[in-house]
Amino acid sequence: MWALSNKVAVAGIGYSALTRRSETPLVQLAKNAIDTALADAGLTRRDLDGLATSPGMPRYGGAKGTVEGVDVVTPWFLGEQLGVQNRIAYTGSTNGMVTQAFIDAAMAVASGVCTHAVVYRALHVPPGSYVNFDSTFASGQDQYFAPFGFSVPPAWAATVLRRYFEMFGYSRGDMARYIVDNRANTQLNPNGYWRGKPIARDDYLDARMIADPMSILDCDIPVDGCAAILLTSAERARDLKQKPALLSGMAAGTHSPPSSVPMTLEDIWTGCEQVAERIWASSGMGPTDIDNAHLYDGFSPFVFLWLEGLGICKRGEGLAFLRDGHGALGGKLPINTGGGALGEGRLHGMTQIIEAASQVSDRCGERQVPGARRAIATISNGLTKSTGFVFSRGEP
Amino acid sequence: MSEAQKGAVPMRPRPLPDEASEGYWQAANEGCLAIQRCQDCRRWNHAPSLNCPACGSGDLDFEKVSGEATLFSWTVVHHSPGPGFAGKLPLLVGIVELAEQPHLLQVANLTGCSEGDLHLGMPLHVEFERIAEDCALPQFRATGGQG
Ligand SMILES: [Zn+2]
């Protein structure tokens, strides 16, 4: 078990508005989220001494924006913008996903490098199509994908979903219940982009195909916005305003598929199982210790593949678990109780961490899992750059 | 820059070979599917790299393969990947598994079949699609077997 298990806590949460294309500059959205997270904990900017993120714009194909405050918000720039640059003792910035910065920030807090660290993710939707390979040449790994029209990330997930469907005899109809229930969860989440827009089974079955069998409703929606999480020591958290959510364990994945393909079903299984082994070892827990799960859903198939990789379901049985409603609120294991990224908007895993921490500190309002004690959050698809976290209730 | 690239009709992106992949694309341009193979541990390696991911050897060479493959998975792309694909949608994209080694995978467009024919393990054979004077892509055609 991790020596620092339950020594670091989530003590504050903040969101900016999440909209499709915001008139407000990204840096202001970031400041809004961070001020909200600080206030949530009963703190001010003057208490902040750590900032961590992964600032890249995740656009595929076309040019990526790099303008500070518009396309990206780095922690150095943000410290200045918040007027507390000279107080910031720790800055973290990863090339992977933001949830790796969460690991770094937790260690910075645990080791005493800083006292109050905010992990944030500010995302900007670029103008034009999010996915548009408009370069003449494809270099690096793209040379094996883009010439074949395989540069649309949902198409990568589609090859995983298709193989799963064919191997185990499922179809999109088996996914419908989860997608509909997930959108219903979103209706109970004040931050949800899709709040106010419930859907029915036929909406899913008739949804526009991006890359068959992946429809638009199997993909999270890119938004302009920011989410922020305040981390501090468990001890310090007890003096702050909210009930703490204790970080019991964390893990990162390092499994890669062959470099000629972006992902395969088999590699995702292997990767999720690797993260699972590490997260259970880190937290000293196992699948039966968890009472709610927040499984990355940037693309819908990852939800049931995480169920399988974590050992909650056997290979091939994860989709049946969702089809039969076991992941719904009130089900055996409520999953993505706030609607996940499919419902809330694309925040690269912040959604899963925030919901997990919120459940074990009784902060989920109408979607609260009664008495939730331990929650797991998994981020990405199980392959390299994936992460997992277990949060536990801080007080009875 | 060729006439096709200068013209008003956008081309699909063409591969930009690098130190590791040069031999692969050069062979493809000559109508040959050649996959990198470790001369020490004899494992096939795709995408090409400077060192063998299995044993670390730097002694890698391109060897011609049979061109036989089976369908590992597929998707039908409806959302345009970019300006070079206008008029090509929906696009059948397969992940094909080369006969030489399990999990030796590559991406290709599928020809000689329609969406309804596709199934796991479907037999395929390589063919080449010329997209520029000096560039051909390995693609895979259904060979009509029962898989
Ligand atoms: Zn070797």
Check A214 against B75: CB less than 8 A apart: yes
> Is B5 a residue whose pLDDT tops 60?
no
When comparing pLDDT for A70 and B4, which is higher? Answer: A70
A94 touches chain B (CB under 8 A): no
**Residues of chain A with C-beta less than 8 angstroms from the C-beta of B104:** 258
A142 contacts in chain B (CB < 8 Å): 13
Task: Show which of B6, B32, B65 is a domain's final residue.
Answer: B65
Q: Which of B11, B46, B93 lies closest to A260 in CB terms?
A: B46
Does residue B6 sit within a domain?
no
| Rounded CA separation A46/A250 (Å) | 29
Residues B48 and B71 in one domain: no
* Residue entry with tokens 């040449």: A137
- CB pair distance less than 8 Å for A149 and B16: no
Check if the interface score ipTM surpasses 0.90. Answer: yes
H or E stretch at B102: none
Q: Determine contact: A140 vs chain B, CB below 8 A.
A: yes
State whether A212 and B76 contact (CB < 8 Å): yes
What integer pLDDT is reported at residue B7 of this predicted model?
A: 52
B118-141 tens-digit pLDDT? 999 999 999 999 999 999 999 999
- pLDDT at residue A163 in the model: 98
Which of A130, A139, A148 is the best mutation test for B, with the most CBs of B within 10 A? A148
Q: Is the pLDDT of residue B146 over 50?
A: no
Answer whether residue A142 shows pLDDT above 70: yes
Pairwise CB contact (< 8 Å): A138 & B15: yes
Mean pLDDT of A326-351: 97
Q: How many domains does chain B have?
A: 2
Token pair for A392? 């536990």
Residues B48 and B83 reside in one and the same domain: no
Q: How far is the CA of A178 from the centre of ligand 1 (A)?
A: 44
Quick check: A192 and A344 in contact, CB under 8 A?
yes
Range of the domain at B135: 66-147
Q: Does B75 share its domain with B131?
A: yes
Q: Is residue B10 part of a domain?
A: no
Is position B2 within any domain? Answer: no
- Let me know if residue B49 belongs to a domain: yes
Residue A101 neighbours by CB under 8 Å, 6+ apart: A52, A53, A54, A92, A93, A94, A119
* Residues β-bridged to residue B71: B96
Task: Name the band, by pLDDT with cuts 50, 70 and 90, for residue B1.
Answer: very low
Distances (CA, A) of A144 to A29, A59, A153, B127: 37, 18, 14, 16
Q: pLDDT band at A62, cuts 50/70/90?
A: low
> By the CB < 8 Å criterion, does A143 face chain B?
yes
Name which of B10, B77, B88 is nearest A211 (Cβ-Cβ): B77
How high is the pLDDT of residue A105? 98
- Per-residue pLDDT for A242 more than 70? yes
Dig out the tokens for A327 from the structure.
């992941």
A384 in reach of chain B (CB within 8 A): no
Please determine, for residue A365, whether its predicted confidence score (pLDDT) is greater than 60: yes
Contact A143 B84 (CB under 8 A): no
Does residue B90 share a domain with residue B109? yes
In chain A, whose CA is at the least distance from the CA of B54? A258
Looking at residue A371, its amino acid is: G
* B121 and B145 inside one domain: yes
Asked if the structure places residue B92 within a domain, the reply is yes
pLDDT value of position A58: 77
User: Is the per-residue pLDDT at A182 higher than 90?
Assistant: yes
CA distances from residue A380 to A81, A132, A174, A291, A305 in whole angstroms, order as listed:
30, 22, 22, 21, 11
User: Domains of chain A, with CATH numbers?
Assistant: 8-127+221-237 (3.40.47.10)
Note residues around ion ligand 1 (Cβ under 5 angstroms). Answer: B 38, 40-41, 52, 54-55, 57
Give pLDDT, residue A127.
Answer: 80
Verify that B96 and B137 share a domain, yes or no.
yes
pLDDT of residue A396: 60
Check CB contact of A102 with chain B, cutoff 8 Å.
Answer: no
Residue of chain B whose Cα is closest to the Cα of A164: B73
* Residue B61 shares a structural domain with residue B74: no
Q: What φ, ψ does residue A12 adopt, rounded to 5°?
A: -165, 150
| pLDDT at A173 (0 to 100) | 98
Of A143, A149, A159, the CB nearest to B85: A149
Half-sphere exposure of A273 (CA within 13 A, CB side): 11
Window A:33-72, CB contacts with B under 8 Å: 61
Per-residue pLDDT averaged across A225-252, rounded? Answer: 98
pLDDT of A121 over the 80 cut: yes
Residues from chain A that touch B11, judged by Cβ atoms under 8 A, are 136
**Residue A196 contacts B where some CB pair is shorter than 8 Å:** no
For residue A138, the model assigns a pLDDT of: 95
**Residue B38 located in a structural domain:** yes
* CA dihedral (B63, B68, B73, B78) positive or negative: positive
Residue A162: list chain B partners with CB under 8 A.
73-75
**pLDDT band at B147; cut points 50, 70, 90:** very low
Contact (CB<8Å) B73/A142? no
Is B113 inside a domain boundary?
A: yes
Do B57 and B70 belong to one domain? no
> What are the C-alpha distances in Å from A149 to residues A115, A223, A370?
48, 25, 47
Split at pLDDT 50, 70, 90, the class of A312 is very high
Whether residue B39 sits in one domain with residue B61: yes
- Provide the pLDDT for residue A172: 98
Instruction: Note whether B33 and B91 are same-domain residues.
Output: no
Judge whether residue A63 has pLDDT over 90. no
Confidence (pLDDT) at A178: 98
Mutate: best of A170, A260, A384, partner B, most B CBs <10 A: A260
**B46:A162 CB<8 A:** no
pLDDT over 70, % of chain A: 99
Q: For B31-56, what is the mean pLDDT?
A: 98
Quick check: A199 contacting B, CB < 8 Å?
A: no
- B49 CB neighbours in chain A (<8 A) are 259
Mean pLDDT, chain A, rounded, equals 96
The pLDDT tens digits of the residues spanning A152-171 come to 999 999 999 999 999 999 99
Same domain? B147 vs B87:
yes
What is the number of CB-based contacts under 8 A between chain A and chain B?
147
What pLDDT is recorded for position A134? 86
B130 and B116 belong to one structural domain: yes
Residue B143 placed within a domain = yes
Q: What is the pLDDT of residue B38?
A: 98
Contact between chains at A137 and B83 (C-beta distance less than 8 A) = no
Percent of chain A with pLDDT over 90: 93
Across the interface, whether the CB atoms of A147 and B16 are under 8 A apart is answered: no
User: What is the CA angle A180-A184-A186, rounded to 5?
Assistant: 115
Separation of alpha carbons A2 and B21, rounded Å? 42
- Cα A158 to Cα A78, A106, A150, A331, B76: the distances in Å are 37, 34, 11, 27, 8
Q: Do A146 and B13 touch (CB under 8 A)?
A: yes
